[in-house]
Amino acid sequence: MSEQEIKVNFTNDEGPGQPEESQSADSAREDSQVKKLSADLADLQQTLLRRQADFDNYRKRIEKERAEDSRRATARVVESLIPVVDGFEHALAAHKEDEYASYRRGFELIYKQLLDNLARLGVERVEPLGKPFDPHMHQAMDRTETTEHADGVQVSVRHATISKIGKVVG
């Protein structure tokens, strides 16, 4: 085929003088398609916004659950270390003689390392002596009748009292 043989017709089938009715029908059809496409676009935008909000809520919920899981795991570790801290305190209190000085120094170093590591976990010592008993923070071991203290005041501590993020775990 040569270039002269190809002829392209760029005109409408209806010819150069298209009636006004046909033009208005085409215009109305195009307007309805534009309105439909605009409505579809608005629906898709709303769906996208809802999906983004759902994903954001999911992400926040997962972060909160992870933080809670981490706090619970840390609390379990701290709870298991409370008897160890208590044992160290009893061992350090038991032998104050000079012949146990090097033994005691070693225990004190290990005890200090243990307390430093617990502090890095956010654990802090709570001193309950002389303060009112709080069942949310303390565990009662015994009740002692005395006239020296008001009713409900803690007069002795048998085990290490440690607090983690505002809550006693031991």
**C-alpha to C-alpha distance for 170 and 163, rounded to whole angstroms:** 8
Identity of the residue numbered 30: E
Would you say residue 146 lies in a domain? no
127-138 burial, b if ≥16 CB within 10 A, otherwise e? ebeeeeeeeeeb
* Residue 137 falls inside a structural domain: no
pTM above 0.85, yes or no: no
To the nearest whole percent, how much of the chain has pLDDT over 90?
Answer: 29
CATH number of the domain residue 63 falls in: 3.90.20
Q: What is the domain extent for residue 92?
A: 32-130+153-168
**Residues 101-115 pLDDT 10s:** 888 888 899 999 999
Which of 121, 130, 136 lies closest to 168 in space, CA to CA? 136
Question: Structural domain tally of the chain?
Answer: 1
- Position 41 scores a pLDDT of 95
Q: Pick the closest to residue 82 from 71, 70, 94, 90 (CA basis).
A: 90
Report if residue 1 sits inside a domain: no
